Structure 1
């Protein structure tokens, strides 16, 4: 089902050197810096308060830029333009995919690589996803050792992915050595009323603990993965990861925009939080 999407991750290897991972890394849960945190405490958050048109916190977020398909034959070019990613002045980060007059597409991909790398916790975001054939929003994480270990050895946790042709379905997935791409360990979640997830905001989360990852939507848990599910392959999720938010256009998995797809499309993020779940 996702055999071709795996190589989009490989591009990240060229975006940051090994030294970048060690710079500005926020202490993870369980270190001295967070020793006073209790279960249920918010230990880190981004609420995207700020003036309309401003950039998200540059001490936390980096805009990855470029095109070339991102290994998955995607159509967009990611930019650092405020026309593709900006605060809306109402407490949201808005990632906007646009179609230009020449038929090309621009969008945005933001990452905390080298700046914030949590290990464990309830990692959640409240998001209103976009809609339409060929539209692919995602909230996910990659192992902070990506430059050294490569993908999929570094691991990947997809908290939420949606492809526009499935408006009432989101997917939670992990990728690791021996279970990546089309063989990733993945579970779909259907909207309980069968409505489009683009109609309103929803909270997408993973409860991430040593040896366990549980996905939920609006507090409803729908899948837990443990080392027993990797068919004897390495479990690579007990280490720091960084967070990624992006909005892709086209690609082998979602397919491509057609006459029914309207632009611009927007992915609105109300907050991203890490909550102590120890």
Structure 2
């Protein structure tokens, strides 16, 4: 059941009561300002900067002031029960400029591994953030799509950490620290179409100081270990020459005709690729390592976890 409803009520306040309320409010403001010193941040420093509960009527389109949909309006509609049903990539229209933030989204989608495939981040130009990726807990990333899961993204100038249902799953150390980010409802699934995502809500709190503990249930350690135990290296390995068979010592190496390769096509965004496909980018040929839907900024040279040089 969707969890968003709100009501309003009218208040009639007598002059004397109104004066007392004003005095009390002034005292509350002073108390907040005092408690904000040190590690505990004040409310004004961690404020809501984005919120969408998808409370529109059945068949209502996305709010264009909040979202940018890659497709027609019918590709992302509200169901009248507080949820968004979408089958194309959606991103927040404006980047969040605050250096620290916490974003949450409750999502149901069948996909391949990687929480960024459901709820991701791009820089203010719409490019995928480049950097070193550490898998913190592969088991903390359910992918079946049978149930809703709460995805959280906590960012700072030097890291972006994904959590699923309160369990840290992935950490990105950006190559360019401090870039403003925008959120993406990704739909980069397992390469099978049609893809469909149901979203219950998206909300963001941000500020100029480190965020307090996430609002989702957290494990005993509030911050994930910066040294993962299961993270494969994400840097591009040095290009190696293809192995050749050793000829007899008394003969020069035999020259083999080049093997016939499938034709490689130029890489394009918003294209479905499967493992083994060959693409070209800036004169270099790459082989797709994992099925995915290409997005702007996912150039082969930027994502060694999805492409390898041929």
TM-score (normalizing by structure 1) = 0.49
Of the two structures, which has the highest relative contact order with CA contacts closer than 8 Å and spacing of 6 or more? 1
TM-score (normalizing by structure 2) = 0.45
Larger Rg: 2
Q: Identify the structure with the greater strand proportion.
A: 1
